[in-house]
Amino acid sequence: MGSEVRLQPDPFLNELTNMFERTTEKGSVWVTLKHSSDKSKVQRNKMKTCGEKIEYRCLVRATDGKKTISTLVGPKDHQRFQASYATILKARMTALRKRERKDKRKAADSDKKEDSKIRSTASKTTN
């Protein structure tokens, strides 16, 4: 695997979006979340013995199999990050199957185009 590139949260999110864009035809995007203090074990042990508090962060890694990026998200920026992250996923993960509506107005399979147009504008307003 190539080396990992550490980015600030916003550039990370941009690059993550690019990864999704690059893998629409084929390939996968992996995103992993992990607790991290971003310090070596030796440092951590030293801090523990001094009674120093280790600030934890969330390490987010993303890869498309060729390129790997990562970023650290702390307690102050995690809410903003998670919101942006959610927006990206929502915009990008569109290949998953939508559930069929139970209250179908029209019979199955007839004129889906009209229906889905209405549905997509409707779903936008539920935000």
Nearest residue to 29 via CA among 40, 15, 42: 15
Q: Which residues contact 17 (CB under 8 A, 6 or more apart)?
A: 88, 92
The least distance separating other proteins from the CB of residue 37, rounded to whole angstroms, comes to 9
Q: Which stretch binds other proteins (CB under 8 A): 1-9, 52-60, 101-109, 112-120?
A: 52-60
Work out which of 31, 67, 70, 115 binds other proteins, going by CB under 8 A. 31
Is residue 18 within the footprint of other proteins (CB under 8 A)? no
Q: Which stretch binds other proteins (CB under 8 A): 4-12, 28-36, 108-116?
A: 28-36
Query: What secondary structure, in 3-state letters, does 40-62 show?
Result: CHHHHHHHHHHCCCCCCEEEEEE
Classify the phi-psi angles of 109: left when phi > 0, otherwise alpha if psi is within -120 to 50, otherwise beta.
left
Site string for other proteins, 86-125 (x = CB under 8 A): xx-xx-xxxxxxxx--------------------------
Nearest residue to 66 via CA among 28, 32, 33: 28
The least distance separating other proteins from the CB of residue 8, rounded to whole angstroms, comes to 15
Contact in structure between 52 and 28 (CB atoms under 8 Å)? no
Binding site for other proteins (CB under 8 A): 20, 23-36, 56-59, 73-75, 78-83, 85-87, 89-90, 92-99, 126-127
